[in-house]
């Protein structure tokens, strides 16, 4: 019998492979870097005349801003990927849990009296306390959502918990609407986000950039250690691989799932605090866009993979920043989702994704 011809798309995937996909992802910064070196970019005005520079400082600034913005998406994306990895549910309410974290942070700053005149010691202590409270509030809220809305539907058709997640998303949006109203609310620039911390080869690094990465990196390291070295973390991994086998081995699957929602909510709360400091405003509808971007990051990196969620968040942050500053904000969503489609076509499991239970 003649061999069946390989389909063109499968042939493309086989020959392009992961390295070809990485080259495609690198095309945007490489192109802009070459453009800056050859054509230059505007670096201000002197005596009414444009100053044109030919170096990579502008691209470096785009990458720094993108990484700091992507750190926020990464913390939210981890919540999506943890929940999907353990119960294969897309928790659409997760973005709005993040929004509640931002509102909690802004409200607590007023209660604690944190303002522009607060000293460094008081500000540091107040922000650390706010971080702990936001993580506790969002973690508890996520556990409550799981206990009330998802656990009773554990054995129901998959569409039922999915629609329930959408319902919780609308409920939390209305909570935010009642809390602060329908318009974005500005908050004090407590950290003076645009103050320069240091320079790297002409690239300016601001306080907001340092803050986002300084919160994200320790939390991701702690989560990675927790999943790999603690008994509850190993229980989470076992439940993600096979819930029934985990139950037979004596693991309390319900408690493990609740712990997963707790951790995801805590990371969303931390992201909510950083977002409020980073953007200096909060809005009841901010969770919709953030949740969509973070879910995209989780899928691009490989849904169910924590490292993939972080990688996807950082990549999308960089893509957004380069598109905003080079092509214009009106093109950003198209560019981001164009990259997502490219990744899905060439590697359907995502950049670091592995086989899931559902996929066999």
Percent of the chain topping pLDDT 70: 93
pTM over 0.85: yes
158 — pLDDT class (breaks 50, 70, 90): confident
Is 70 exceeded by the pLDDT of residue 15?
A: no
The residues, any chain, with a CB within 8 Å of residue 190's CB and separated by 6 or more, are 109, 114, 115, 116, 118, 123, 127, 277
The mean pLDDT of 188-203, rounded to a whole number, is 90
Tokens 């819930």 -> residue:
243
Q: Is 259 exposed, middle or buried (0-12, 13-18, 19+ CB in 10 A)?
A: buried
**Crossing angle of helices 120-145 and 253-279, rounded to 10°:** 140
Give the model's pLDDT for residue 78: 97
Whether 296 contacts 316, CB under 8 Å: yes
DSSP structure string for 303-339: TT-HHHHHHHHHHHHHHHHHIIIII-GGGHHHHHHHH
pLDDT of residue 140: 97
Average of per-residue pLDDT across 206-220: 95
Q: What is the pLDDT of residue 23?
A: 82
Fold of 67-184+208-346: ABC transporter involved in vitamin B12 uptake, BtuC (1.10.3470)
- Mean pLDDT across the stretch 231-256? 93
Q: How many CB atoms lie within 10 A of CB 107?
A: 16
Type and span of the H or E element at 354: none
Helix intervals (H) in the chain: 8-38, 57-87, 94-112, 120-145, 159-180, 207-229, 231-241, 243-248, 253-279, 286-301, 306-322, 332-346
The stretch 4-28 carries a mean pLDDT of: 71
Stretch (H or E) spanning 282: strand 281-282
Q: What is the pLDDT of residues 136-149, one digit of tens each?
A: 999 999 999 999 99
Task: Annotate 78-104 with b (16+ C-beta within 10 A) or e (fewer).
Answer: bbbbbbbbbbbbbbbbbbbbbbbbbbb
Average pLDDT rounded to a whole number, residues 140-168: 93
- By C-alpha distance, which of 255, 295, 278 is closest to 95? 295
Q: How would residue 2 be classed by pLDDT, with cut points 50, 70 and 90?
A: very low
Listed by start position, the domains of the chain span 67-184+208-346
What would the mean pLDDT of 66-83 be, rounded to a whole number?
96
Checking if the pLDDT of 315 tops 60, the result is yes
Q: What are phi and psi of 303, to 5 degrees?
A: -60, 135
Q: What pLDDT is attached to residue 344?
A: 87
Mean pLDDT, to the nearest integer, of 297-325?
A: 94
Of the candidates 70, 268, 83, 72, the one whose C-alpha atom is nearest the C-alpha of residue 172 is: 268
């Amino acid at each position: 019998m003649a061999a069946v011809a390989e389909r063109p798309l499968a042939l493309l995937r086989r020959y392009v492979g992961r390295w070809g996909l990485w080259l495609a992802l690198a095309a945007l910064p490489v192109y802009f870097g070459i453009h800056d070196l050859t054509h230059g970019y505007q670096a201000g005005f002197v005596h009414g005349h444009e100053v044109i520079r030919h170096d990579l400082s502008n691209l470096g600034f785009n990458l720094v801003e993108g990484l700091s913005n992507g750190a926020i998406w990464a913390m939210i994306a981890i919540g999506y990927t943890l929940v999907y990895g353990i119960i294969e549910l897309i928790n659409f309410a997760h973005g709005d849990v993040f929004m509640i974290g931002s509102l909690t942070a802004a409200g607590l700053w007023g209660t604690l009296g944190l303002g522009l005149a607060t000293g460094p010691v008081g500000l540091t202590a107040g922000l650390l306390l706010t971080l702990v409270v936001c993580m506790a509030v969002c973690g508890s809220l996520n556990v409550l959502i799981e206990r009330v809305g998802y656990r009773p539907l554990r054995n129901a058709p998959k569409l039922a918990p999915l629609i329930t997640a959408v319902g919780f998303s609308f409920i939390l949006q209305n909570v935010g609407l009642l809390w602060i109203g329908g318009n974005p609310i500005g908050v004090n620039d407590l950290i003076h986000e645009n103050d320069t911390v240091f320079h790297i080869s002409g690239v300016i690094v601001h306080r907001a950039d340092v803050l986002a990465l300084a919160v994200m990196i320790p939390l991701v390291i702690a989560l990675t250690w927790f999943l790999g070295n603690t008994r509850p973390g190993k229980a989470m991994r076992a439940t993600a691989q096979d819930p029934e086998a985990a139950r037979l081995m004596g693991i309390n699957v319900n408690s493990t799932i609740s712990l997963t929602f707790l951790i995801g909510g805590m990371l969303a709360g931390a992201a909510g605090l950083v977002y409020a400091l980073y953007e200096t405003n909060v809005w009841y509808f901010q969770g919709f866009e953030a949740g969509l971007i973070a879910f995209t990051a989780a899928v691009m990196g490989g849904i169910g993979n924590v490292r993939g969620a972080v990688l996807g968040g950082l990549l999308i942050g960089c893509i957004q920043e380069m598109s905003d500053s080079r092509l214009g904000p009106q093109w950003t969503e198209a560019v981001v989702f164009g990259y997502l489609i490219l990744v899905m076509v060439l590697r359907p499991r995502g950049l670091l994704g592995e086989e899931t239970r559902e996929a066999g």
